[in-house]
């Protein structure tokens, strides 16, 4: 009984790590096969085709008389589109695409499963257990450095530091009085 439980937990663990990726890859491959069969039957006048026009600025570009078959995909706003045919006409690339519902559903369910397994829900209503205030623990130190070459001052540095605790603000003091030199020169 313990071996059966251990093996089943191991299988679940391995599925959560890599098995779901293999499963969704298999679904994508099967969807690609069924789409290839559907694409072979499509004509230029099919109502499922979506026309995308992209301006291109190639010098000495010639117009193509007919569409030619191409393969490719593009994702736009969560939807996947499959290129079927293309043509260049008057400095414009015209792509005939078909909405690839199956692959869009597979990719969405794959990302949803990944989010659920890894607990990546985008709930912004979650509040932290305790609030940490940076002001209580970190000092803010500002160094300001500037040069006044016109007045002969090469560099002046001002350093200000804010106290960590409220109520103990620094009060500017007078500079210390010079002490007579202990060493005499001469």
Q: Alpha-carbon distance 2 to 137, whole Å? A: 51
**pLDDT tens sequence for the chain (186 residues):** 899 999 999 998 888 888 888 888 999 899 888 888 888 877 767 777 888 888 888 888 888 888 888 888 877 787 888 888 888 888 888 888 888 888 888 888 888 888 887 777 655 566 666 665 555 555 555 555 555 555 555 555 555 555 455 555 566 677 767 765 555 554
Please report which helix (H) or strand (E) contains residue 43, including its range.
none
Provide the whole-model pTM: 0.50
Q: Exposure of 42 by Cβ count < 10 A (0-12 exposed, 13-18 middle, 19+ buried)?
A: middle
């Amino acid at each position: 009984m313990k071996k059966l439980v251990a093996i089943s937990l191991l299988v679940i663990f391995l599925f959560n790590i890599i098995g779901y990726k293999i499963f969704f890859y298999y679904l994508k491959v099967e969807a690609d096969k069924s789409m290839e069969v559907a694409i072979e039957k499509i004509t230029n006048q099919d109502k499922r085709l979506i026309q995308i026009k992209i301006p291109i600025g190639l010098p000495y570009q010639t117009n193509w008389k007919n569409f030619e078959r191409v393969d490719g995909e593009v994702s736009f706003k969560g939807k996947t589109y499959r290129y079927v045919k293309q043509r260049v006409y008057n400095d414009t690339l015209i792509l005939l695409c078909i909405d690839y519902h199956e692959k869009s559903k597979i990719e969405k369910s794959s990302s949803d499963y990944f989010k659920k397994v890894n607990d990546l829900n985008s709930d912004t209503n979650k509040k932290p257990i305790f609030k940490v205030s940076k002001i209580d623990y970190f000092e803010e130190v500002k160094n300001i450095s500037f040069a006044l070459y016109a007045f002969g001052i090469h560099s002046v540095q001002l350093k200000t530091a804010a106290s960590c605790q409220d109520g103990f603000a620094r009060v500017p003091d007078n500079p210390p009085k010079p002490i007579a030199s202990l060493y005499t020169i001469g």
